[in-house]
Amino acid sequence: MKIAVLGTGMVGEAIGTKLIETGHSVMMGSRTANNEKAAAFVAKHGKDKASAGTFAGAAAFGEIIFNCTKGIESINVLKSAGEKNLSNKILIDVSNPLDFSNGMPPTLAVCNSDSMAEEIQRAFPALKVVKSLNTMWCGIMVNPAMINGGDHNVFISGNDSDAKKQVAGILTGFGWTDKAIIDLGDLKTARGSEMLLPMWLSIMGTKNSGAFNFKVVS
């Protein structure tokens, strides 16, 4: 499949790499077509499977789009990607609306009665937004077996059940078992997964490592 990865940070790199390793073609998108990290990504994986361009170029390329951009800028990123390049596509939203403008700890720019994922869905109604993978460090997103034998959870939120099924298929390709994938319900449930971030940051500070995840037991 042709997949757009919007974002040149560590999440875009990790997800883009795993997608290529699992047989997809990836175009990495950035504000500029000549972003250095995107160029390094293409050099690492080769031009047959990897390419780089602007957010608009990548969105046009992708049949499915990952949003791996700075959460509080994601609406601007998607505006620059262009509505026509997004229409009717699945957007897997990995972003978190963290605002570091007042230092540490960051605050959530949107929370309680709204979420980043819902803001994106409202701004781009023709997109099928599915929130996932935002509750863990990117190393674990693409290699769940690296901790606890893969026995921990990844959440999915979204309004379109077929889109969620396709996203679950991509997660399976990343190494997640069916049992580990928890469908929380519609996109409103992304409020909860985004609001896990203050807790995630506190645990990371305590453990001095991002190599942990949430596991639901009952």
Ligand X SMILES: NC(=O)c1ccc[n+]([C@@H]2O[C@H](COP(=O)([O-])OP(=O)(O)OC[C@H]3O[C@@H](n4cnc5c(N)ncnc54)[C@H](OP(=O)(O)O)[C@@H]3O)[C@@H](O)[C@H]2O)c1
The owner of tokens 């379109």 is: 160
Residue in 3, 4, 8, 18 binding ligand X, rule: CB under 6 A? 8
Which residue lies nearer to ligand X by CB, 76 or 161?
76
Report the nearest approach of ligand X to the CB of residue 38 (Å).
Answer: 7
Which residue lies nearer to ligand X by CB, 122 or 162?
122
Q: How many helices (H) and strands (E) does the chain have?
A: 10, 10
Task: Spell 139-161 as b/e; 16+ CB within 10 A means b.
Answer: ebbbebeebeebebbbbbbbbbe
Report the nearest approach of ligand X to the CB of residue 96 (Å).
Answer: 3
Which residue lies nearer to ligand X by CB, 172 or 212?
212
The owner of tokens 């990123």 is: 77
Stretch that binds ligand X, among 40-48, 92-100, 117-125, 152-160 (CB under 6 A): 92-100
Instruction: By CB under 6 A, tell whether 10 contacts ligand X.
Output: yes
Name the helix (H) or strand (E) containing 72.
none
Size of the site for ligand X (CB under 6 A): 24
In sequence order, the β-bridge partners of residue 98 are: 108
Contacts of 165 (CB under 8 A, 6+ apart): none
Q: Which residues bind ligand X (CB under 6 A)?
A: 7-12, 30-32, 35, 68-71, 73, 76-77, 94-96, 98, 134, 137-138
